Structure 1
Amino acid sequence: MPESWTFAVARDDLGRTTLIDTATPELAEGEALLRVDRVGMTANNVTYAVLGDAMRYWEFFPAARSGLGPEWGLPPVWGFAEVAASTVPGVEAGQRVYGYLPPAGHLVVRPERVDGTGFRDATAHRAELPSPYNAYRSTAGDAAYRRDQEDLLVLFRPLFFTSFMLADQVADNAFYGADQLILSSASSKTGYAAAFELHGRGPRLIGLTSPGNVAFTRELGCYDEVLTYDEVDTLGAVPSVYLDLSGSPDTRAALRARLGDRLVRDIAVGLTNQIPNAEAAGEVFFAPVQMRKRRQDWGRDGLDQRFAEAWQRFAGAAAGWVDVRAGKGPEDLRRAWLDVFQGRTPPRVGHVVEFR
């Protein structure tokens, strides 16, 4: 493996990729060097690239810092890294952290607000970007961390955080008075994690998925009913909330035709088929907004504890729902990206890539 490396995708053609060798970055005073160790690749990462300009995801890890031109972008990934070197007290070589990382061998960070739970990256270009993405959690001070769950954390933690906050927002608003909650992309990790959190707490849960994923989605046990997209016209015409994770215009049109004014909320959560859905939906869910609310309500420690408890409940079930497809090195990262981007990854499969 080269001294360091960077994986990038063409911003106007996400199926075109490049891998370049780079030198290990040098540190200035106040900086630390993270060696990226273990990351996941899911549809969530493709979403970051699809929304790279609109939601500024390309700006977290500028391609220019790796010597690449403006046509290239670095799709962010989530995973574990180890501190390789540090000039910052409290951030020590060998410390293991979880957070938002570039698809690269190393990342230079400027730690601030260092404590037992980790630190935040105060690098100047990240200052105006959404703050939750700038936090690096030390495994030693993380209530949700267990070493034997690293693969699950790599694959699910950022998705589960979105799902946890989505379910919390829906419940916090008394389910918007709905009798049923309808989730598209019900076989996706974000979809069924939200359903896991919501199941049995109020309205019926209806999962929409493609015919090939019906059996898997039903076996999860998270939904009261699972329908294919062409069965929307069989839905009960009762007050309903649509949690849209697919971004499909046809599904939205069919739901509106079936439910009319009984569709009391139409919330865009994300997208998996690369059709932006924010403009067509009634509103957009953004997890950091609900997170800020709950930090005010519960405090940071209270939010962390509730999340850790929910995560452990979910992890116990999710371990039986995913088959980890392990990779090693940057070429396997490229292959995982293309598999996910081109829709070749079955819902049971989760890509985890190591760089040791």
Structure 2
Amino acid sequence: MADSWTFAVARADLGQTTLVDGALPTVADGEVLLGVERVGLTANNVTYAVLGDAMRYWQFFPPAARGLGPQWGLPPLWGFADVVASRVAGVEVGQRLYGYLPPAGHLVVRADRVDASGFRDASPHRAELPSPYNAYRFTTGDPAYQRDQEDLLILFRPLFFTSFMLADQVVDNDFYGAEALVVSSASSKTGYAAAFELHGRGPRLIGLTSPGNLAFTRSLGCYDDVVSYQDIDALDVLPTVYLDLSGAPSTRAALRRHLGDRLVRDIAVGLTNQTPNADAAEEVFFAPVQMRKRSRDWGRDGLDQRFTEAWQSFAARVGAWLDVQVGVGPAALQRGWLDVLAGGTPPRVGHVVQL
């Protein structure tokens, strides 16, 4: 492998991939070179690619900067990187940080608003993109960080943040007056993390999942009941909020037929397959919107404190629900991507890649 490398997928066919070599980037004044060190692969990363154009996820890591044509895209990943070179005061070589990373060996960022907690990437091409994705947190300034929980943070932190903010929005709106909350893709990490936050706080919590995942999902203890998609007609007809993480049109149609006007809210949360669900839903949940609201309500420190408390409670439980599989090197990243894309990852498995 060359000094650096990049993994990319064809934007028109996410199963077509390439690995290309490149030179180690150099840094100019105001820039920092990050060595991408450990990343995760979940259905969330596939979501970024599926919505790459609609939600501008392809714009975070432009392929042209890596010698690739516009037909290619770099699906964003979450994970840890180390500072390899720095020409920014307050950012030192060897510092470790967590953030939004490319599927590549290195990333050059323009570090701005540097403080003890980290910095933001102020690169011009990211200026108009959603700001939460531009934040990089030093492990030394991150209250949620524990070294022995790195893999859990890699796999769950972005998902848990979505789940945390989703649960907060539901609670913030008094559960929309519902007596039941129905969560599809209940065996997914985002699904059961949201359920963990919501369980016991209000309405009855019901998970929908495939027959093969019923036993696993019930074993989590996050739901009051778990039923298969085939048994939707057995649900009680109560004022119900639907939190759609599956993106399956047939599930939405079945719920609407069965519940009628008792379906008081229909919220698209994301995707765990490649069927966009936003158009058919009544509304779309986007975590940064609720984050901005709570940043105003609580302040940044208040939001961090609440998130950290929720994360620590969740992390204490989730380790028993997960088998982390660690691959090594760019080829393992490529294999992991194809496995997750194909839906071949069991709910108990989490893919982490050491690069």
Q: TM-score range by the shorter chain?
A: over 0.9
Instruction: Measure how far apart 1:187 and its partner are.
Output: 0.2
Q: Kindly provide the amino acid, as one letter, of the partner of residue 267 in structure 1.
A: I
- Offset from partner CA, 1:134-191 (integer Å, 9 cap, x none): 0000100101000000000000000000000000000000000000000000000000
Q: What secondary structure, in the 3-state scheme, does the structure 1 residue paired with 2:100 have?
A: strand
Q: Are 1:138 and 2:134 matched, yes or no? A: no
Task: State how far apart, in whole Å, the 1-side matches of 2:248 and 2:66 are.
Answer: 35
2:337 corresponding residue in structure 1: 337
Q: Which residue of 1 aligns with 2:33?
A: 33
Residue 220 of structure 1: how far off its partner (Å): 0.3
The CA distance in 2 between the partners of 1:291 and 1:87, in whole Å, is: 31
SS of alignment partner, residue 111 of structure 1: strand
Q: Counterpart of 1:150? A: 150
Letter of the aligned partner of 1:188 in structure 2? S
**Pairing of 1:246-257 with structure 2 (within 5 A):** 246-257=246-257
Aligned to 2:311: 311
1:9 aligns with 2:9: yes
Alignment of 1:171-190 (within 5 A): 171-190=171-190
Letter in 2 for 1:201: R
What's the offset of the Cα at 1:55? 0.4
Aligned 1:1-356 pairs, distance under 5 A: 1-355=1-355
Report the Cα distance in structure 2 between the residues aligned to 1:200 and 1:111, rounded to whole angstroms. Answer: 42
Q: d(CA) in 2 for partners of 1:304 and 1:271?
A: 26
SS at match of 1:319: helix
What one-letter code is carried by the residue in structure 2 that aligns with 1:287?
Answer: A
**AA of the residue aligned to 1:315:** A
Superposition deviation, residue 40 in structure 1: 0.2
Aligned residue identity for 1:120 = R
Write out per-residue CA displacement over residues 101-140 of structure 1, whole angstroms, 9 at most, x where no aligned residue.
Answer: 0000000000000000000000000000000000000100
Q: Equivalents in 1 of 2:2, 2:161: separation in Å?
A: 34
Amino acid at match of 1:75: P
Gaps of 5+ in 2: none
1:185-210, Cα deviation, whole Å (9 max, x unpaired): 00000000000000000001000000
Separation (CA, whole Å) in 2 of partners of 1:298 and 1:272:
31
2: CA distance between counterparts of 1:309 and 1:220? Answer: 20
* CA deviation after TM superposition for structure 1 residue 3, in Å: 1.1
Q: CA deviation at 1:2?
A: 2.7
Please tell me whether the aligned partners of residues 43 and 273 of structure 2 are also in contact (alpha carbons under 8 angstroms): no
CA deviation after TM superposition for structure 1 residue 260, in Å: 0.6
Percent sequence identity over matched residues? 76
Per-residue deviation at 1:39? Answer: 0.3
The whole-number CA distance in structure 2 between the counterparts of 1:159 and 1:179 is 25
Cα distance in 1 for partners of 2:2, 2:213 equals: 40
Q: Tell me, in whole angstroms, the C-alpha distance in 1 between the residues paired with 2:201 and 2:323.
A: 28
Question: Does the residue aligned with 1:110 lie in a helix, a strand or coil?
Answer: strand
Name the aligned partner's letter for residue 189 of structure 2: K
Residues 47 and 274 in structure 2, CA contact (< 8 A), matched pair in contact too: yes
Conserved 8 A contact 2:191-2:245: yes
RMSD: 0.5
Q: Deviations over 1:86-111 (max 9, x none)?
A: 00000110010000000000000000
Q: TM-score, normalised by structure 2?
A: 1.00
Counterparts of 2:62 and 2:264 in 1: how far apart (Å)? 40
Secondary structure (helix, strand or coil) at the match of 2:187 reads: coil
Amino acid at match of 1:6: T
Q: 1:1-55 CA deviation, whole Å, 9 max, x = no partner?
A: 4311000000000001000011110111110000000000000000000000000
What is the letter of the counterpart of residue 154 of structure 2?
V
Number of aligned residues: 355
Q: Which runs of 5+ in 1 are unaligned?
A: none
